Amino acid sequence: MTSSQIDPDNQKIKLAILGAPGVGKTSIAKQFVHNYFTEDYEPTDQRELYYPSIIINDHLYDLKIIDCPYIPYFPVNSLYEWTDFRGYGLRNATAYILVYDITSEDSFQYIKTLREQILESRNMHDVPIFVVGNKHDLADERGLSRREVANVVKKQWKCGYVECSAKFNWHIILLFKELMKTIDYIDHGHKPTSVRVQAALRRNRKPETLNEKLHDQGRYSIISTARRLWVVISMGSNF
Ligand SMILES: Nc1nc2c(ncn2[C@@H]2O[C@H](COP(=O)(O)OP(=O)(O)OP(=O)(O)O)[C@@H](O)[C@H]2O)c(=O)[nH]1
Ligand SMILES: [Mg+2]
């Protein structure tokens, strides 16, 4: 597949960002979508939605990122989802990003419980959970050791694990890239060898080529790139 043959049937992906209060959920979403960070803390009181699009492995995905306010528990059934607006739309997410603050052990305990509630509440077949340790810039004040957490998350939970700093925009793109790789793998499986070879041959291609193609369609403009992950703003995407 070449850049001019990007799959026109964009996949709709709903990502829910969950975690204890103040761990940096909003900061991660805003840094990813708008390259914006502030030290000021304004607790999120109702869910915020972001609509970036992403190209990975020549597949175009329209994302709906749900930045959730703190929820005391995951909505165990659709009745709970409807009665508490904070948890609305969470039960059918395509993937979950569970954020904790590496300086707060309590915030890890929170996502531990939340993960159990998610697993008990819905069918999680092919629904990835990604655990994110935010505020890496404060690693001197770390609570649990990285090895301890990575061991639990990767080996026991079989989940992806990334540490990042929304403050310094460190590993934010990486986090979404790793998650989208997982989702792309679930959707498309392994690429056929011939496509992989073509992809390798194209690695030197200038980013502008794809940007221009998308611009020609009048729908997208690229705001950020990192190796094979392309983050684009989708004009008027709504789902
Ligand atoms: N040092 C540091 N501070 C951060 C980082 N990310 C977020 N913060 C700060 O942590 C505070 C909370 O960040 P938010 O993004 O609002 O946290 P939240 O998880 O959305 O909080 P709620 O909406 O209340 O659940 C703010 O003061 C941010 O500036 C980071 O990577 N490093
Ligand atoms: Mg918030």
Q: Which residues contact residue 52 at a Cβ distance below 8 angstroms, ignoring those fewer than 6 apart?
A: 32, 33, 63, 65, 223, 231, 232, 233, 234
pLDDT of residue 237: 42
Which one has a higher pLDDT value, 128 or 195? 128
Q: Which atom of ligand 1 is nearest to the CA of 164?
A: 31
For the chain, the domains span: 3-233
Which CATH code for domain 3-233?
3.40.50.300
Residue 191 has pLDDT above 80, yes or no: no
Contacts 24+ apart (CB under 8 A), 117-122: 117/73, 117/74, 117/76, 118/74, 120/76, 121/74, 121/75, 121/76, 121/77, 121/91, 122/91, 122/92
Q: Which of 17, 18, 27, 40 to mutate to test the pocket of ligand 1 (most atoms within 8 A of CB)?
A: 27
The alpha carbon of 26 and the centre of ligand 2 are apart by a number of angstroms equal to: 4
Determine which of 24-33, 69-78, 228-237 has the lowest per-residue pLDDT on average.
228-237
User: 82: pLDDT confidence band, cut at 50, 70 and 90?
Assistant: confident
User: 204: pLDDT confidence band, cut at 50, 70 and 90?
Assistant: very low
Residue 166 has pLDDT above 70, yes or no: yes
Q: What is the mean pLDDT of the chain?
A: 82
pLDDT of residue 84: 79
Protein residues whose CB sits closer than 6 Å to any atom of ligand 1: 19, 21-27, 38-39, 41, 43-44, 69-70, 134-135, 137-138, 165-167
User: 58: pLDDT confidence band, cut at 50, 70 and 90?
Assistant: confident
The alpha carbon of 86 and the centre of ligand 2 are apart by a number of angstroms equal to: 12
pLDDT per residue as tens digits for the range 98-135: 999 999 999 999 999 999 999 999 999 999 999 999 99
Q: Which of 18, 26, 42, 65 to mutate to test the pocket of ligand 1 (most atoms within 8 A of CB)?
A: 26
Which one has a higher pLDDT value, 209 or 32? 32
* Nearest protein CA to atom 21 of ligand 1, as residue: 22
Q: Which of 97-101, 180-184, 224-228 is modeled with the greatest confidence?
A: 97-101
Q: Which atom of ligand 1 is nearest to the CA of 39?
A: 29
User: 64: pLDDT confidence band, cut at 50, 70 and 90?
Assistant: very high
Determine which of 51-55, 151-155, 210-214 has the lowest per-residue pLDDT on average.
210-214
* Nearest protein CA to atom 1 of ligand 1, as residue: 135
pLDDT of residue 9: 65
- Tell me the Cα Rg of the chain: 18
Residue 150 has pLDDT above 80, yes or no: yes
